[in-house]
Amino acid sequence: MKIAAFNVENLFDRPRAFNLEDQAKGAEITDAVAEINVLINKDEYSEADKKRMLVLIKELKLTSPNPPFAIFRKIRGSFWKQPKTGPMVISAKGRADWVGWVELRTEPNNAVAVMNTGRVIKEAGADILAVIEAEDRVALKQFSEQVLLKLGGDPYDEIMLIDGNDERGIDVGLMVTNGYSVGLMRSHIADMRENGERIYSRDCPEYQVITPGGETIWILPNHFKSKFGGNDENSIGKRRDQAKRTAEIYEGLRAEGHDGIVILGDLNDTPDSEPLQRLLAETDLREVTDHPNFSTGEFAGKGTYGLGNDSNKIDYLLLSPKLFDRVTAAGIFRKGAWPGSRPKRWEVFPELDKEIHAASDHHLIWVEISDQV
């Protein structure tokens, strides 16, 4: 049984703001879109709400003929009006007066990068693959049926993705093949923090996977709060709450008698970081990089992001003790990641001759587990 996790950073389309060289500016844009959508969903708009929305509309250039990073979608009703004299005003009194929203503009990913993403997934050959930052289930299905097939691979048999809380199209999904199948599913999109916010920016879905031999494995893909654009106390606190809740979900499964559990994906922080300790240090989960059979390949770093240094270890494969004891091999697959240039740190696909052609900034992490006896 081979299990892998890979942050594909969107398969076909990616928000334009994510592609800005100035990451802080990109974060400001995505935060502004998130904020205005929270405000426009209020039942009643206060004068302060209207004032703030006008500021955000100006910052996002939503009234221009071709806004660069976000689009104002109005289906019906009236939201704003521009008097012949004087500034624009918010005419709606609340959510009931109109139907619409603000969404991030996307642009197609580089075609070579898309194909290199396919090459990574094809060559890794995982029976169970957790995909991080996928647009939606349809995109995953199209990727599997079109890109993998074009590369001479076999499409995955079952593909599942539960839409999460992120309005930017950043979700976590699961792909299984070779006789593995998805059984029960549970979502945690409605789990709440003490401050009234949702814990998971995406979701922490629980997927029951049935192996060809009839064993039940619970797979929990995750994508914790990013440090993108900064790592303030709110960002740190959210990852802390996400780690705590994920640990509680794991412990709940263990209390139900399940002993084959995998938590995997992009946790956006390092193993020694304080926010992750409830999950990494206060449960009996074991990380594959700690297994004696784990290999970093031709580059010695354990990092799963960027240039692969130990300080870039942010993607994880956490196993319950029963599964950890059955590990036969594990490692990091780097051939789709940019290797640097002086010197190149690892072998890459021939088609990856420019950094823009990288499959992802992340490296796929994988583990092989012996069949249950």
| Last-in-domain residue among 45, 79, 107 | 107
Q: What is the pLDDT of residues 195-243, one digit of tens each?
A: 989 999 899 999 999 999 999 999 999 999 988 766 788 889 999 999 9
29-33, 73-77, 165-169, 257-261: which has the highest mean pLDDT?
257-261
* Rounded Cα gap, residues 219 and 150, in angstroms: 28
Whole-number pLDDT of residue 15: 77
| Last-in-domain residue among 107, 124, 153 | 107
Q: How far is CA 248 from CA 182, 188, 315, in A?
A: 22, 12, 20
Query: Would you state the torsion angle of the CA atoms of residues 11, 12, 18, 19, taken in this order, to the nearest 10 degrees?
Result: 120
92 and 136 inside one domain: no
Compute the average pLDDT of residues 312-336.
Answer: 97
214 and 339 inside one domain: yes
pLDDT band of residue 343 (cuts 50, 70, 90) is confident
Token pair for 138:
């349809």
What average pLDDT does the structure give for the chain? 92
Position with higher pLDDT, 104 vs 307: 307
Q: Measuring CA to CA, which residue among 372, 368, 370 is closest to residue 3?
A: 368
Whole-number pLDDT of residue 31: 86
Quote the number of domains for the chain.
2
* Residue keyed to tokens 């997934």: 121
71 and 173 inside one domain: no
Token pair for 64:
């221009």
* Rounded Cα gap, residues 308 and 128, in angstroms: 24
Q: What is the pLDDT of residues 16-52, one digit of tens each?
A: 887 777 777 888 898 899 899 999 999 999 999 999 9
pLDDT at 290 over 70: yes
Whole-number pLDDT of residue 54: 95
Chain-centre distance for alpha carbon 296: 23
169 and 94 inside one domain: no
121 and 213 inside one domain: yes
pLDDT band of residue 108 (cuts 50, 70, 90) is low
pLDDT at 14 over 90: no
* Rounded Cα gap, residues 133 and 173, in angstroms: 8
Domain encompassing residue 182: 2-13+108-369
* Rounded Cα gap, residues 163 and 341, in angstroms: 38
Token pair for 134:
């996928």
23 and 144 inside one domain: no
Residues 6+ apart with CB under 8 A from 287: 271, 280, 316, 317, 318, 319
Whole-number pLDDT of residue 233: 87
Whole-number pLDDT of residue 230: 66
Whole-number pLDDT of residue 338: 95
Q: Is residue 221 packed enough to be buried (19+ CB in 10 Å), middle (13-18) or exposed (0-12)?
A: buried
pLDDT band of residue 373 (cuts 50, 70, 90) is low
Q: Measuring CA to CA, which residue among 232, 322, 339 is closest to residue 275?
A: 232
74 and 168 inside one domain: no
- In 3-state terms, what secondary structure has residue 101? strand
99 and 142 inside one domain: no
272 and 292 inside one domain: yes
pLDDT at 342 over 70: yes
pLDDT at 12 over 80: no
CB 264 within 8 A of CB 130: yes
* Rounded Cα gap, residues 328 and 322, in angstroms: 13
**Strand-by-strand arrangement of the 171-176 sheet:** 158-161, 171-176, 128-134, 2-7, 364-369, 327-333, 294-295
H or E element that contains 330: strand 327-333
Q: Name the DSSP letter for residue 293.
A: T
223 and 96 inside one domain: no
pLDDT at 117 over 90: yes
| Last-in-domain residue among 60, 88, 107 | 107
Whole-number pLDDT of residue 229: 62
Q: How far is CA 269 from CA 265, 272, 339, in A?
A: 11, 8, 21
Alpha-helical segments (H) within the chain: 23-40, 47-59, 111-124, 137-142, 149-150, 233-255, 277-280, 321-324
Whole-number pLDDT of residue 275: 97
CATH of the domain at 172: 3.60.10.10
* Rounded Cα gap, residues 338 and 305, in angstroms: 10
* Rounded Cα gap, residues 188 and 165, in angstroms: 10
* Rounded Cα gap, residues 150 and 218, in angstroms: 31
pLDDT band of residue 262 (cuts 50, 70, 90) is very high
Residues 6+ apart with CB under 8 A from 343: none
pLDDT at 70 over 80: yes
Whole-number pLDDT of residue 17: 83
pTM over 0.75: yes
82 and 117 inside one domain: no
Q: Measuring CA to CA, which residue among 92, 108, 109 is closest to residue 100?
A: 92
* Residue keyed to tokens 């009236």: 78
Token pair for 40:
């426009």
Whole-number pLDDT of residue 287: 97
93 and 116 inside one domain: no
